[in-house]
Structure 1
Amino acid sequence: METHQIDLSEAQLLQIYQHLHQIPELAMQEKETHAYLLEIIHHFDQTYLEIWTPEVLPTAILVLIHGKAPKRTIGYRTDIDGLPVAEKTGLPFASQHPNVMHACGHDIHMSVALGLLAHFAAHQPQDNLLFFFQPAEESLNGGKTAFERGIFKGKWCPDEFYGLHDNPDLPVGAIGCRMGTLFAGTTEVDVDFYGKGGHAAFPQDANDMVVAASQFINQVQTIVSRSVDPIEGGVITFGKFEAGTIRNVIAGRAHLEGTIRGLTQKMIEHIDQRIKEVAAGIGQSYQAKVTVQLNQGGYWPVENNPQLTHNFITYMKTATDVQFVETAPAMTGEDFGYLLAKFPGTMFWLGVADDSQLHSATLTPNPQAIQIGIKAITGFITHRMSEKA
């Protein structure tokens, strides 16, 4: 690649995508990815660029493009980490890192971001543009970590934030979005039950935590069916139940692990509270000690800002070269939700037309979506900068 690259060609974008696909790294370990991203960025015209790799989050990269006459700073975020998945695509450019794969399409996300950055580095924008290459989306909530470590301050603070996620169910290059919540928020739930073990033949001398934990699971199912507005919805799933050691010994302990999903932060907090109340009731009913641990971290619902999202959707619907799809909310989680709780903004989908779903070992997004997405997003950002407010 030549120094002072103008716009990245389709061939260059494909080369970048394939290289990124080969070097996936887990959350907060994205050193090789970080180095490669910096190598590409340093080939762009540096006239208007300012690059910062914060010591408090060493695999993150922030790039500020200084605008001609800035009225605002428009933020654009891309995630950069991979997943602990052994790739089974059979691609010639498959992951070179054993048991780690870009199974969620973050290689697509980064390629689009680099294409946008190359364009605006060479064509100075009106407003300031802030690109945030974020580590640790899949785990360790990198967005929340970045915010809490004070990265978004001064000139590095966006007035509004945008980001995309690839979508295998949408046509190649299609833009999907909706008013309200795009992704659900998620909370991890661990519940421990402490009773008294004993011989299976003498239940009166023990306090069976298999029974207590089972009743807890049954009662928790009524939270969504009877304590949640059916129009709003919610999900509670306990996927792990551990208790006992042998068939003829009553278990004095039990451990559950589950997840909560909700479309608003208010709903998640409501479900959290109801789970605590059910646990307290089970503890009292079965004379057991029941403890509940809830961990949401940065995985808040992705609640799109009404005004900015209306603006985004209106542009994408009217742009002649954009295929827009209004999408339903998804119950999957995304840590961009935390940043959207701190900054107004919008998250949207980019269609990649694949039979395999996100997080699968065979995910093979169509890379033609990259250039189509860059064109659509460049058009929107240019339109946004033309607006007074």
Structure 2
Amino acid sequence: MLSENELIQIRRHLHQIPELALQEQQTSDYLKQIIQAMPQTNLQFRTIPELPTGLLVRVQGSAPQRTIGFRADMDGLPVTEQTQLAFSSQHAGIMHACGHDIHMTVALGILDYFAANQPRDNLLFFFQPAEESECGAKIAYESQLFTGDFCPDEFYALHDTPDLDAGVIGCRLGTLFAGSIEIDADFYGQGGHAAYPQRANDMVVAAAEFINQVQTVVARNVDPIEGGVITFGKFEAGTIRNVIAGQAHLEGTIRGLTQKMLEHIKQRLQALGQGIAQSFEARVELQFDQGGYWPVENNLELTQQFITYMQKESTIKYQTTRPAMTGEDFGFLLAQFPGTMFWLGVGPTGSLHSATFNPDEAAISAGVQAVTKFLSYRMGE
């Protein structure tokens, strides 16, 4: 079985070879190399053309009553590392700044244990490409990856966090991560000379009024207990100071803790767009793109069981956490399969997605042990 030191060395190697979404070939090859060194008696592999860098590994159970899935994401971020570590990224401008190297290593440790100690139930390990972008979870599901013997009855996944001490498990009932929808808004009117505004139809004013009215959606249309966020981070219009802009373009994001809330906010924005179009005699086009970034809504029954076990197990440190407005495409899988996502603390360091993110590697062994114990408990072993 893989020792703690071996797991750390695996993580460090993965940290040096980060790759962007759908380009994780070197990472995939290395994962296969590690997995092929494990006992193969009960292992079965599956890949699909739509996600050639992804890897699905099934462990045959001794007396299976269910198939339990565990996901680990693989891709890095377009971030230039500034940790000065001896094992820093060797790929210029790319870094495992979200800790997916930790995620993969923990999954390998769990898989290694059950490859050597046959579980009672079937286990399914999904090493998933393209979590940070391109919605790898959605691609996998829509490509019929989870069918037949490779269909999980329930799914689990973790995400590392610097907000918890190394090795601490964090979770909550309900939503762990918000869902997100990208929105593009285009406004079409009539350009003209700044000295003759009556002859033009100013889309800077129309777009600005739209932004102002959007602020009322969260303030007056969203239940304050549920929460929501609408942010427009990009506004493009005009060419020169003395020409009235006949077009304007906005780019933003919507975030909500439930899919129902996201759909409600989307409908309100569509209504506001129609109102602006009518009042400004303009054409307003809104485009929404959610992809696979649905809210991570934990299954009530399975999550309660997970939390109860983590709280009672004396060797595990557990903490109840608050929901986060960050996005995660595991939410799409939880909309298809019951399951639970939880946090693994990696101690204080730079924030997720930062160039100085440097997790405490003591979290790896702690994560492997906690999840291995829970899965054994879940299988009634």
TM-score in same-fold range (> 0.5): yes
Q: Does residue 219 of structure 1 match 2:213?
A: yes
Structure 1 position 94, deviation (Å): 0.6
Q: Does residue 189 of structure 1 match 2:183?
A: yes
Q: Does residue 107 of structure 1 match 2:98?
A: no
1:238 counterpart letter in structure 2:
F
Counterpart position of 1:379: 373
Structure 1 distance, partners of 2:335, 2:47, is 24
Q: TM-score scaled to structure 1, two decimals?
A: 0.97
Give the secondary structure class of the aligned counterpart of 1:34: helix
Structure 1, gaps ≥5 residues long: 1-6
Whether the 8 Å CA contact 1:354–1:363 is kept in 2: the answer is no
1:232 counterpart letter in structure 2:
E
Structure 1 position 198, deviation (Å): 0.5
Q: What RMSD, in angstroms, separates the aligned Cα atoms of the two structures?
A: 0.7
Q: Does residue 318 of structure 1 match 2:298?
A: no
Structure 1 distance, partners of 2:17, 2:270, is 42
Counterpart position of 2:59: 65
Per-residue CA deviation, residues 243-269 of structure 1 (Å, 9 max, x unaligned), is 001111100000000000000000000
Among 4, 16, 19, the residue aligned to 2:10: 16
**Identity across matched positions, percent:** 66
Counterpart position of 2:124: 130
Among 255, 258, 264, the residue aligned to 1:261: 255
Per-residue CA deviation, residues 104-140 of structure 1 (Å, 9 max, x unaligned), is 0000000000000000000000000000000000000
Counterpart position of 1:340: 334
Counterpart position of 1:231: 225
Counterpart position of 1:4: none
Give the secondary structure class of the aligned counterpart of 1:40: helix
Give the secondary structure class of the aligned counterpart of 1:382: helix
Alignment of 1:152-167 (within 5 A): 152-167=146-161
Structure 2, gaps ≥5 residues long: none
2:336 counterpart letter in structure 1:
K
1:350 counterpart letter in structure 2:
L
Structure 1 distance, partners of 2:119, 2:135, is 31
Give the secondary structure class of the aligned counterpart of 2:249: strand
Among 69, 83, 86, the residue aligned to 2:80: 86
Counterpart position of 1:74: 68
Structure 2 distance, partners of 1:53, 1:30, is 14
Structure 1 distance, partners of 2:31, 2:55, is 8
Q: Does residue 41 of structure 1 match 2:35?
A: yes
Instruction: Give the number of aligned pairs.
Output: 381
2:52 counterpart letter in structure 1:
P
Structure 1 position 51, deviation (Å): 1.2
Per-residue CA deviation, residues 196-232 of structure 1 (Å, 9 max, x unaligned), is 1111000000000000000000000000000011110
Structure 1 position 156, deviation (Å): 0.4
Structure 1 distance, partners of 2:123, 2:342, is 18
1:113 counterpart letter in structure 2:
A
2:13 counterpart letter in structure 1:
H
2:153 counterpart letter in structure 1:
D
Whether the 8 Å CA contact 1:178–1:328 is kept in 2: the answer is yes
Among 298, 301, 306, the residue aligned to 2:295: 301
Structure 1 distance, partners of 2:281, 2:364, is 58
